[in-house]
Amino acid sequence: MASYIKRKSGWQVRFSRVDEHGKLVQVSKSGFATKDAAKKFAAELELAANIRNEDKLFADYFTEWHKTYKQGKVAPSTYRKYLHVDKVLHTYFPAEKLADMTRQKYQLFINEFGATHSKELMSQINIYVRSCVKSALYDELLKKDFTERVELSFNRQKTKNVDYLNVSEIKQLIQVLTDGLNPKYTSKYMILTAIYTGMRLGEIAGLTWKDIDFMHQTISVNKSYSYVQGELKEPKNRSSKRAIAVNQGLLSVLKQLRGHSSVMVFANEQNTIPTSNAVNKALRVALAQCNLDKANYHFHSLRHSHVAFLLYQGIDLYAISKRLGHADLTTTMKKYAYLIQEYEASQNKQIANKLQILHDF
């Protein structure tokens, strides 16, 4: 849209357009003798911009979008996912213009690509594309949202179910880890912390002694350790900053590590934080010692096991959501739907048994 202002030197026109990098920029020019002359200039600019936009390829716009709005603003590990989606779109839509994209074309892509790929990847692609399309709509490069009401399709065989441990298995794992503790090697301490708190690996790796309140039995999550960058950073999102109530048993175990570092809780004998590979290796060894065959079980699965245990204990879902650092209940319900369904099934049996009391009189 163009706007016109009468100045002493003549008419001034201001025109907003999207440049070749997908950024919204303003162009202004003064000194027109008449308003009609200013309008003619704006019309020529708008026509040129529309021609460029009509020729813009969908995959190229996605590249411009994530470079402008995501690069340097998300974690490197997350940005690599954008690059992977970028490659997928360029492969599937090598010459499709952004202006020519339709719901049918996008749904066909979801159907065909989803036939051989997991639910996780298809959900990721759809989320990123939807965000990109919203940006294109805002910049007036599209008239309609071609991702609206598209049905997600995926290969169930490619979609791995997340393994989690039941109460008995968690107790086994805790016993094996506790029996093998050595302050020189902090990986097992990190695993125990995950079991008792449900914290993410980066959050645990980033803990400092100032974050642990031994008197009030809480752990404060206010940062995260980036294994890619090798430094502390802000947590995943605003809701990730939280205080987690912990048991005295975990605090007693963590006190064993106080001799290594005056700052970082899980700094080992070499004053470094165990790598993700090292922690997962320690977890696999401990599971083997428990004779637990969990092919898909890794460190993040401990978070799922923590949720399963809390649900089993009847802890309110809202409290669990806050403990995990989720923005809202919707996030928790989506990520742990399979656990909630299992919990719901067990609760329904209890409800039926309780209702039977009304009949037995």
| The pLDDT value given to residue 359 | 64
Q: What is the CATH number of domain 59-138?
A: 1.10.150.130
| The pLDDT value given to residue 110 | 96
pLDDT tens digits, one per residue of 322-353: 999 888 777 777 677 666 666 666 666 666 77
| The pLDDT value given to residue 133 | 95
- Rounded CA-CA distance 79/71 in Å is 7
| The pLDDT value given to residue 240 | 87
| The pLDDT value given to residue 233 | 86
| The pLDDT value given to residue 348 | 67
Beta strands in 283-324, from DSSP E residues, in sequence order: none
- Rounded CA-CA distance 142/253 in Å is 57
Q: Structure tokens of 198?
A: 């449900």
- Rounded CA-CA distance 300/191 in Å is 10
pLDDT tens digits, one per residue of 48-58: 555 455 678 99
In CATH, which of 3.30.1360.30, 3.40.50.970, 3.30.420.40, 1.10.443.10 is domain 167-347? Answer: 1.10.443.10
> Which residue stretches of the chain have pLDDT < 70?
1-2, 15-26, 42-54, 159-162, 334, 337-351, 354, 356, 358-361
Domains in the chain: boundaries: 2-55, 59-138, 167-347
- Comparing 59-138 with 167-347, is the CATH topology the same? no
Q: What is the β-pairing status of strands 218-221 and 224-226?
A: unpaired
| The pLDDT value given to residue 346 | 64
- Taking each continuous run of H as one helix and of E as one strand, the counts in the chain are 14, 8
Sign of the dihedral defined by the CA atoms of residues 50, 51, 54, 59, in that order: negative
Q: How far apart are the first and last CA of the chain?
A: 76
